[in-house]
C-alpha cells in the first residue's frame, strides 16, 4: 500500500548538498560558499561524491572563529581551490539531474547560496525548489507534532515548518539528530561539508521511515 513512498523507491536519485561559507549572511554581497560538497545516493547506496574548494575573486575574508570551526585552510585553498566557473558545471549537472535535493537546513541557509551561485553563472535556480527535502524541517515537523500531508505539497509543508515559532528545548541540528538516532559517526569532524553530508545521509535514512514522502 505504501510502495509509492520514496523510502521504497530504489530508482530515484538523491543529491545531498552542503556549503561551508565565510559567515552566516544569506546574501552573496557579504557571504560566499568556499566549500561545496555533494553526495549522490540511489536507494540506500552512495554511488558518488564531490568535494569542491572554491576560490572566489572576492575581498571577503573568513573570520577567525569561523575558520577554526570549519577548519578552513588558506594552504588547502591555494593548493586545491578552483574558480567557481570550474566547479559549477558539475554542481549544476548533479542538481539539475537529481530527483530530489537533500540538505539539513537547506531551506534556511544553503538554498540562498545556491541561488546566488546560479545567478553568478547567469542562470535561474527556481526549477530546483520543488525537489528540495530539508531534513531539518522534517525533524522539526516531527518534534512539533506537525504531520506532513501529501495534499499540502512538500515544499509548502517545509516552509510552514521553517516559519513555525521555535519551541524552547526542541533541538534538530544535524549533530543532535545523529546522536538522538544513535548514529555512529566522527562528530569531532563536523563542519566539514563532506563529513556533514555523510551524517546527513544517515539521518535521512532514519527520518524517511517517520515521514510519508
Q: Using CB atoms within 10 Å of the CB of residue 72, give its burial: 0 to 12 exposed, 13 to 18 middle, 19+ buried.
A: buried
- 56's enclosing H/E stretch is none
The pLDDT of residue 199: 97
Judge contact between 63 and 53, C-beta under 8 A. Answer: no
Where do the domains of the chain lie, and which CATH numbers do they carry? 6-207 (3.30.420.10)
The set of residues, in sequence order, having a beta carbon less than 8 Å from that of 59 and lying 6+ positions away, is: none
Angle of helix 135-143 relative to helix 193-207, nearest 10 degrees, comes to 40
**Which residues does the chain have with pLDDT short of 50?**
none
pTM of the predicted model as reported, rounded to 2 decimal places: 0.95
What digits encode the pLDDT tens for the residues 118-153? 999 999 999 999 999 999 999 999 999 999 998 889
Paired residues of 1 in beta bridges: none
Angle at 135 between CA 35 and CA 22, to 5 degrees: 25
Q: Name the residue among 49, 22, 25 with its Cα closest to residue 37.
A: 49
The pLDDT, as a whole number, for residue 165 is: 80
Amino acid at each position: 500500500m505504501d510502495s509509492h513512498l520514496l523510502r521504497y523507491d530504489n530508482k530515484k536519485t538523491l543529491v545531498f548538498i552542503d556549503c561551508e561559507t565565510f559567515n552566516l549572511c544569506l546574501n552573496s554581497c557579504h557571504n560566499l560558499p568556499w566549500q561545496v560538497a555533494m553526495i549522490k545516493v540511489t536507494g540506500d547506496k552512495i554511488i558518488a561524491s564531490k568535494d569542491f574548494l572554491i576560490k572566489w575573486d572576492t575581498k571577503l575574508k573568513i573570520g577567525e572563529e569561523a575558520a577554526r570551526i570549519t577548519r578552513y585552510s588558506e594552504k588547502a585553498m591555494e593548493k586545491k581551490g578552483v574558480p567557481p566557473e570550474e566547479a559549477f558545471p558539475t554542481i549544476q549537472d548533479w542538481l539539475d539531474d537529481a530527483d530530489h535535493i537533500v540538505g539539513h537546513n537547506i531551506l534556511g541557509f544553503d538554498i540562498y547560496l545556491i541561488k546566488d551561485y546560479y545567478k553568478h553563472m547567469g542562470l535561474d535556480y527556481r526549477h530546483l525548489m520543488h525537489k528540495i527535502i530539508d531534513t531539518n524541517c522534517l525533524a522539526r515537523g516531527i518534534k512539533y507534532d506537525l504531520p506532513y500531508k501529501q495534499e499540502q505539497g512538500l515544499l509548502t509543508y517545509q516552509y510552514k515548518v521553517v516559519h513555525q515559532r521555535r519551541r524552547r528545548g526542541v533541538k534538530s541540528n544535524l549533530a543532535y539528530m545523529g546522536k538522538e538516532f544513535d548514529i555512529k559517526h566522527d562528530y569531532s569532524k563536523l563542519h566539514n561539508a563532506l563529513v556533514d553530508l555523510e551524517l546527513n545521509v544517515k539521518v535521512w535514512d532514519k527520518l524517511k521511515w517517520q515521514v510519508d514522502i
